Amino acid sequence: MECELTTLCYIEKDDQYLMLHRTKKKNDPSHDLWMGVGGHFEEGESPEDCVLREVYEETGLTLTDYKLRGVVSFSDNDWYEYMFLYSGYDFKGSVTVCSEGDLVWVDKEKSVTELPIWEGDKIFLKLMNEGKPFFSLKLHYENKVLRSVVLDGVKWTDEQIKSYL
């Protein structure tokens, strides 16, 4: 099974995140969901190279202050991914049109509680909003339904998972 390497960045401004509503890309497993911006590594890129390039390509913004918040691994049937999760705190430029969907500034709390997002995203967004320092998060899905969570090496109970969803 091949493992994908990706980055994802939640750019912050005025207690909001810049969110991408994924509506334009064909055959997108995240179609009609909301998330931060990011994408796949290109050959020879570091996580920092990738996040800076992806943020610029998708938003037109150049990050000037950002931080690696965690590493998240995802699995579902024959899919496996390692994602480097970032927060962006300052930037230069203006938001442009994105070829993958619509970019919208969304209240941080609304992004977790009201928008359609992956179940696991609710967990890491809450961890980020709570100010948790760097973390390792393992999310296992079965047919796009979250089945298990391991945070910093500790497997969560079903009750812990439900409390974050």
Angle, CA of 54, 84 and 98, to the nearest 5°: 25
The domain spans of the chain are 3-164
**CA-to-CA dists, residue 111 to 38, 106, 126, 129, angstroms:** 17, 6, 10, 11
Span 118-130, pLDDT tens digits: 999 999 999 999 9
CATH superfamily, domain 3-164, is Nucleoside Triphosphate Pyrophosphohydrolase (3.90.79.10)
Of the listed ranges 51-55, 62-66, 75-79, 117-121, the least confidently predicted one is 75-79
User: What are the pLDDT digits (tens) for 38-61?
Assistant: 999 999 999 999 999 999 999 999
- Model confidence, pTM: 0.94
**Terminal-residue alpha carbon distance, the chain:** 29
